[in-house]
């Protein structure tokens, strides 16, 4: 299990996600993001707008995703 925070994944808070794969991590982060979006949480809305700007460029998204995957892979694996 590895741990990353909402902030590390482009979000806005220090909530921790725990997952064995980066895909799983990304899914948890996305679900949390959607929940915060539905609550209208301001900091997360801001973070989401920034991500949407990034989404306009497929290359930027790929680069961001690859960088985060590397960050995930470099983390210590804890039980």
Q: Where do contacts with Zn ion occur on this chain (CB under 5 A)?
A: 6, 11, 13, 15
The neighbouring-strand residues paired with 5 are 16
Rounded to whole angstroms, the Cα distance separating 27 from 47 reads: 17
In terms of CB distance, is 15 or 51 closer to Zn ion?
15
The neighbouring-strand residues paired with 4 are 17
SS3 assignment, position 78 = coil
Q: How far is the CB of 33 from Zn ion (least distance, A)?
A: 7
Q: For Zn ion, which residue has the nearest CB?
A: 6
Q: How far is the CB of 59 from Zn ion (least distance, A)?
A: 26
């Amino acid at each position: 299990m590895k741990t990353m925070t909402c902030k590390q994944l482009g979000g806005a808070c220090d909530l921790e996600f725990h997952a064995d794969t980066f895909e799983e991590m990304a899914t948890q982060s996305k679900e949390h993001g959607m929940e915060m979006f539905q609550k209208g949480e301001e900091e997360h809305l801001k973070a989401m707008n920034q991500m949407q700007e990034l989404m306009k460029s497929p290359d930027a998204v790929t680069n961001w995703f690859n960088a985060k995957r590397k960050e995930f892979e470099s983390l210590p694996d804890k039980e």
